[in-house]
Amino acid sequence: MLPRDRAEKIITLGQAGWPVRDIAGQLGHAPQTIRDYLSGDRTPGVRAARPSLLTDPLASYCRRRFVEDPYLRPASLFKELTELGFRGSRSTSTVN
């Protein structure tokens, strides 16, 4: 999330007709960030929702699956987790 004043500047420049690349270059942000604020996908002062975390039920599921199949590949387990509703990235699901 950008500071409110920075996000409002993006919106102001966009409304003034500035191209996304020029706004990005002027303010030092990625063009996609600029597009997100101009399209309304991001709102000034509002944090984006975090992906769901590996909750206790899903962690228990992981432990049970590794007991059932000690050779279970992490990629296969991640696929199962996403089918169960896990919305985090693969790296957040990695168990050490």
Buried b (16+ CB within 10 A) or exposed e, 5-44: eebebbeebbeeebebeebbeeeebeeebbbbbbeeebeb
Tens digit of each residue's pLDDT (9 = 90 or more) over 29-86: 999 999 999 999 888 877 776 655 667 788 889 999 999 999 999 899 999 998 988 8
pTM, 2 dp = 0.51
CA dihedral over 53, 57, 60, 65, signed as positive or negative: negative
